[in-house]
Structure 1
Amino acid sequence: MQGGPIKKASEALQLLLRSLPENCCFNVVSFGSNFDSLFKTSQPYSEESFLKALKHAQEMNANYGGTEIYNPLKWVFENSKNDMPTSIFLLTDGQVYNVDQIVELIKSSEEKKNDDLRLFSIGIGDSVSHNLVESVSRAGKGYAQFVTNNERMDKKILGMLKNAIKPPIKDYNITWTNQILDDNLPTETNPVDKPIISFFSDNTTPPTTDQKIFTNIKIQQAPYLIPPIYPGTRFIVYCILENGIEPCKEITLSGISTEGPIKLSVSLDPVALQGSKIHTLAARKLIQDLEEGSSFIHKHPKNSGKTIPNSLIREQVTNLGVTYSLASKYTSFLAIDERDNKLVAEVKSPPARRIVPVYAPSLVAMRCYAPIPASRAFFCAAIQTSMIGAAGLAPEANQSDEIDQVATDLSTITIKSKSPKIETLYKFLDLQSFDGSFLPSTKFYSWFDKNNFKDFEFIGIKNEKVLCLALAMAYLEIIMFETFKDECEMCYGKAKKALKKEVGDDEQKVNENLEKARKWVKKWADE
C-alpha cells in the first residue's frame, strides 16, 4: 500500500493515539514478514509515551514485507498485562494461509485472560482476506470492519475504540418459547459400571466409556453463543424451531452489564416468506458454528466434558450442506454441463489470421517494469483497557503514487470553513496534549488570528488555561462537529474533562466559560 492509503492509515493511527483514555496502557506492534514493537511491554499513557508513539505513527512506512500475523499476535498476548482488560486492534490489507491456527491462538489466549480480552479488526483494500478479518474478530469477541483504498478509516477505528473502552455486556440469552423443553432440563449423570482391573494388569490404556453425545436439540440457535453486541454494529441471530414448538409472541433478549441485569423485549410478527432463503442463511450460520467449535453440540451443558468426535461434526455439516445446497469444509458443488452431441450445422470459414509479434534482438536495450505487488500487512494496534498494536506494510521502492497521494498543503487550508477538511482537524489537534489540554502558546493564538492572552480579555475569561480549553471546545463544536463529529468526539471529551479539572469540577462554570467562547467563535467564523 502506497501513497494516499498509507498516509490515511498513519493519520488514523495518530487520531487513535490522541483519543486514548488517560488511565490506559498501550503499545504499537508493526508486522509483516517480521515484526517489532514500539515498547518492550505496554506502557502507561503519558506525555512521553504519547509523543514517542505519535512520532512513530507519523514516520510509518511500507517496509515490513508480506503478511505474518500469528507470531506478532502471540507476542502481544504473551506480553500484555494480566491485571487489566485488553483490547487489540488489528489492521491488515493482506492474506494468510493459517487462519485456523490464528483463531485457535486467540481462543486459548482469551481463556487464559478469563474473557478479559477483545480483538477488533479492520480489513483494508480489495485484496484483503475477508475470512481472516471476520474470523479473528469473531474469535476475539469484537467485530470486523472493511474500508476501500480510497476510503478514510478514521470514523470506523474510533467507533471501535469507543466500544473497546466500555465494559462489555455478557451472558446474553434469548427466550424463544415459553414451552418447557428437554433441552433446558438439568443433565442427569448416571453412574457407569466400570470393569474391574487386576492389580497385576500390564495394560496402561484406561477402559473406554460410551459417551452419548446430545444432538437432538429442538431449538437450533445460530450463533449458539451470542457474542458481545456493540452500538453502531449489526447483529443477526437465527432460530430454527422443531415442528410443534410455538414461539413466544414476544421474544426476550437478556444479559448482564456492570450495573446489573438488562432486558429487551421484541414483539414477534409472524410473516410467511416464500422460498427458503432465511433457512439457508440460518444453515450457513449453523455450519460456521460447527466448523469453529462453538455450536450447540460443542457448548450444550449436556455435552460438557465429552469429547466431540470429528465424524459427528462432519456428518452434521454434510447434512446441512446437502439439504440447503451450501459449500463447506465437507461439501462442494460439482457442475455438470449436459449437452446434446448431435451436430446441428457445419459452418465453413476461412482460417483466422494470427498476428505474430516480432521480438527484438537480445542485444537491443529495452526497459521494462515488474508489476507492483499488492501490499500485504498493515497495522495492528492493541490497547490495554485498551492496548494498541500496529501492523506493518509491504515494502515498495521509493516510488510516489501520484493517483492516491493526498497533495494538500495544510498552510493553505481555510480553518474557518463551515465545510472543513479532515487535514484541518488533524492540524488543530496537534495543539492538544495527551491529557486533553490545549496549552497557551503563540501557535494556538495564531490559529484564531490573535497574538496572546490579552487579545481575548474582552471575552471575560480570566484564567488563560480555561480560555484555551473553552476556545478549543467551541471551535470543535461549531466548525468540526457538523462534518467530523465522530472523528473528534473523544478528543473533545478529553478537553472537557481537562476543563472541568481546571474549574474544580464545577459544571456550571464549565458551561459559563464555554458559552462565552462559543459566542466569540461564532462571530469569528462569520467574519
Structure 2
Amino acid sequence: MDGSRIQKAKQSLILFLKSLPQNSLFNIVSFGTMYISLWDESRKYTQNNLKEAILHVNSMKADMEGTNIYKPLQNKIYNSSYGRSKDTTLNVFLLTDGEDYADPIIELVKNNNRAETRIYTLGIGEGCSIYLIKRVAEVGNGKFHIVGDNEDINEKVIDLLEDSLTPYLQNFKLETNVKEVYSIIPNPESIVSLKKNQELTIQILFSNEQELENIEFSMHCYNPQDKQPIKYSVNLNLNQSQDNEYFHKLAAHKFITYYDNAIKYGEQQVNFIKLNKQFLKDEDIVSLSIENQILSNKTAFVCEVCVLEDQFKQQDRSKVKIIKIHPVVNRYTEETQQQRMSLNNPPLYCKKLPFQQQKLKSIQQFNQLKLPFLKQFVRKDQKQTPQLGLMGKNYQKQEPMLECFGNQMQTPYQTSAQRANISFPIELLGIQISQSINMSQSSLPQIALPKQNQKSLENQSNQQLLLISQDKNNDPTYENLMNFAQVDGRFKINKDIQMKVNYLNLSNQQGLKADVWNTLLILLYLENFCRQFKKSWQLIYLKGVQYLLQNGINYKQKKQELGYPYT
C-alpha cells in the first residue's frame, strides 16, 4: 500500500478493533512478500490486548511490498487446528489494495468452506483485483466491498463486521415421501449456512404422475447459536394444486444459471443441484431451455422476418429514431443552430405562445443554474432572446409556453412523432442562487428555496448548521471520540472533552459515576452532531448503550426524560 492508503487502512482497522464484541478472540496478520502475525494465537478482547493491537497498527508501514495472500491464509487460518471447534464462529477480514494469483486462493477457501467460517474481503483503490475480492467472499460465505481512493472506508468496514455478527443456520437436509424426484434446486446439502433475514427458495421438480395424493416436504437444519435442531414442514395436495407455467420457467432459469456458473468456474459437475443423474451434458441444457423457452448460453432467440411487404412498409414508416439529448447551451448562436440541423438530426421548429401572467425576470439568472433539464427553444428566423423552460413532472397548472412541431423532440419525455405540446413550470421564480459565503477560506454555495420547501428541509438545515459550527469551533468529530471508547463500551474522557460534548449543559444530578455520565454525554453528542456517519460508529454506540444498561441507565428512557428530539 502507498502512504495514503496505509493511513486510511490503519484508521479503519482501529475503528474496527474498537467495534468488536466483548466476548471476541482476535489477531492481526500483515502480509506482503512475507507475513507477520501480531500474536502466535488469537487472544481475548481485553483492554490491554486492544491497546497492544492499536500500537501495532499505528506502527505499520507501507514497506512490505507485494501481495502474498495465499501463505497467511494457509498457515494462520487453514492450519492443523482449523475446524476443531464447531461452536465457535471464525470470521476472517481481508483488506488489500493489490493483486495476487486469484485461482489458488479461491480454491483454498472453497476447499476449506465450513458453516462456522466466513471470509470477508475489502478491496482498496483501483489496483485491487475485483475478481479475487468478489469470489473469495462468495465461496467463503462472506461479503465484499470495493472502496475507491476518495471514498469513506469506515462505513464499509463496519458493514462487514456487522454482517459477521448475524446468527445463521446450517446442516440443511430435505426429506420427502415423493419417490421419483427429478431435481432439487438448489440442493439443500450444498447450502453451507444461511444468515438471518437471508432468503432461501427451493424448487423441487418431480413427475406429476404420483401415486400419493398428499405429498410432504420437511426441511431440517441446525441453529448453532441456540444449539437446537429446527424443522420446517410443507404439505401439498395434488388434487387441489394448480399447474403454473411460471414456476416451471423460474426453476428452469435457476437450473440453467447454476449450470452456467459451474462451467464458468471450471467445475465438472453442478454441486448446487440435486439430480437423478451424476453429470449434465450440453444437450440437457439445450432441451431444458427450448422446452421452457428460457435463454441460455447454448441457445438463442430467432426473429421472424415479416413476409407481407405492405405490413413491413407500414411498420417501417412508424419507426422513431432516438437521438442523444444535447447539453445546455448558454449562448445561442447561428453556429450551434447549424450544428443541430442535419439529415440525421432534423431541426426542431417552435411557435411561441403567450405567457399567462408571469414572466421570467432574467435569462442570465437561469443560465447559471446548471440543471440537466434546462433547454432553449427558438425559431431559426427569430433573432430575439430565446425563452427558457424547465421540464418536469406534474406541472398542470399553466398553459403551454411553446408549441413544438417536427418529427422528433429533444426532450427527456416520450412524445408522439409528429406533434407535442409541452407545459413548463412558472415556479422557476422561486429558485435563485445567492452569493457564496466565506468560511475558513472555502466557498459554500447557498440555494434559496420557495417558502413551502423550507419547512421540509428545516431539520436538515439545522443539522448542517450544527456541523458547520462543530468544524468552526474545533469540536470533536466522531473519529476523535472513538479514540476514547473502551472494550466494555464506556468512554473515558477528560474535563476538556466533557465540556465540548455536553452541548446541552446538563448536570449530573443523579451522581452517576464519571464513566457512566461521560458515556451518556457522548452518545447524545454522536446522535446530534454525527448522525450522517452513524453507520461508522453504530456498533460502538450499541456497546455504549449496553454499558449504560448494565449500570442501571436505560438510554432510551433517559433521552425522553431530557426531552431529546432524536429517538
Is this a same-fold pair by TM over 0.5? yes
Measured after TM superposition, the shift of residue 89 of structure 1 is 0.8
- Give 1:226's aligned amino acid: I
Maintained 8 Å contact 2:467/2:529: yes
Aligned to 2:98: 94
When Rg is computed on C-alpha atoms for both structures, the one with the higher figure is 2
SS at match of 2:191: coil
- Tell me, what secondary structure is at the counterpart of 2:28? strand
Which one-letter code corresponds to 2:261 in the other structure? Q
Structure 2 residue aligned with 1:442: 495
8 A Cα contact 1:440 1:468, kept in partner: yes
1:282 and 1:131, CA in 2 relative to 1: closer, same or farther beyond 3 A? Answer: farther
Is the Cα–Cα contact under 8 Å of residues 179 and 245 in structure 1 kept in the other structure?
Answer: no
Q: What secondary structure, in the 3-state scheme, does the structure 2 residue paired with 1:146 have?
A: strand
**Which of 101, 106, 112 is equivalent to 1:103?**
106
Alignment match, 1:307: none
CA contact (8 A) 2:255 2:273 kept: no
**506, 526, 549: which one aligns with 1:476:** 526
Residue 404 of structure 1: aligned partner: none
Say whether the 8 Å CA contact 1:287–1:320 is kept in structure 2. Answer: no
- Counterpart of 1:228? 193
| Structure 2 gap segments, 5+ residues each | 290-294, 299-441, 443-463
2:534 alignment partner AA: K
Q: Which residue of 1 aligns with 2:25?
A: 25
| Cα contact 1:29–1:38 (8 A) shared by 2 | yes
Deviation per residue, 1:70-123 (Å, 9 max, x gap): 101112223878554321111223333252x32343345456xxx432212223
Q: Which aligned pairs between 1:76-225 and structure 2 lie closer than 5 A?
A: 76-77=76-77, 78=79, 82-83=84-85, 84-99=88-103, 101-110=104-113, 115-172=115-172, 180-183=178-181, 217-221=182-186, 225=190
Report the aligned-residue RMSD.
4.9
Amino acid at match of 2:541: Y
Structure 2 vs 1, CA of residues 244 and 10 (structure 1 numbering), >3 Å: closer, same or farther?
A: farther
- Aligned-pair distance for 1:7? 3.6
Identical amino acids, percent of aligned pairs:
22
Give, in whole Å, the separation in 2 of the partners of 1:294 and 1:16.
40
Asked if the contact 2:258–2:272 (Cα under 8 Å) also holds between the matched residues in 1, the reply is no
Q: Which residue identity does 2:90 align to in structure 1?
A: T
- Matched position secondary structure for 2:194: coil
Which structure 2 residues correspond to residues 321-340 of structure 1 after superposition, within 5 A?
Answer: none
Residue 92 of structure 2: SS of its match in structure 1?
Answer: strand
Secondary structure at the aligned position of 2:56 is classed as: helix
> For 1:295-323, what per-residue CA distance to the aligned partner results, in whole angstroms no more than 9, with x for missing partners?
666996999xxxxxxxx76x647965998
Structure with greater contact order relative to length (CA < 8 Å, sep ≥ 6): 1
Cα deviation code 1:482-508 (max 9, x no counterpart): 32222222111222232233x3xx4xx
CA–CA distance in structure 2, aligned partners of residues 322 and 147 of structure 1: 43
Residues 513 and 222 of structure 1: CA distance in aligned 2, closer, same or farther (over 3 Å): closer
Q: In the alignment, what sits opposite 2:257?
A: 284
In the alignment, structure 1 segments of 5+ residues that lack a partner are 184-216, 304-311, 332-407, 409-413
Closer, same or farther: CA 129–244 of 1 in aligned 2, 3 Å: farther
Name the one with the larger strand percent. Answer: 2
When normalised by structure 1's length, the TM-score is: 0.57
Q: Distance in 1 between matches of 2:556 and 2:205?
A: 59
Residue 256 in structure 1 maps to residue 237 in structure 2: no
User: In the alignment, what sits opposite 1:400?
Assistant: none
Q: Could you tell me which amino acid in structure 2 is paired with residue 495 of structure 1?
A: G
Amino acid at match of 1:487: S
> What do the CA deviations read for 1:335-361 (whole angstroms, capped 9, x no partner)?
xxxxxxxxxxxxxxxxxxxxxxxxxxx
Secondary structure of the residue aligned to 2:109 is helix
Tell me: CA distance 1:299–1:293, structure 2 relative to 1, closer, same or farther (3 Å): farther
Q: Which string of whole-angstrom CA distances, capped at 9 and with x for unpartnered residues, describes residues 203-261 of structure 1?
A: xxxxxxxxxxxxxx4334378722433357x7676748467599x99999764323445
Matched, 1:426 2:479: yes
Distance 1:323 1:302, change over 3 A: closer
Once the two structures are overlaid, the 10-residue window that deviates more, 4-13 or 463-472, is 4-13
Which of 558, 563, 567 in structure 2 is aligned with 1:514?
558
Matches within 5 A, 1:251-400: 255-257=221-223, 258-259=225-226, 260=228, 279=252, 282-289=255-262, 316=281, 320=285
Q: CA deviation at 1:151?
A: 2.5
The CA deviation at 1:440 is 4.5
**What code does the residue aligned with 1:492 have?**
Y
Instruction: Please give the alpha-carbon distance, in whole angstroms, between the structure 1 residues aligned to 2:126 and 2:250.
Output: 28
Residue 417 (1) aligns with residue 467 (2): yes
How many Å separate the matches in 2 of 1:285 and 1:36?
Answer: 39
CA distance in 1, matches of 2:100, 2:523: 44
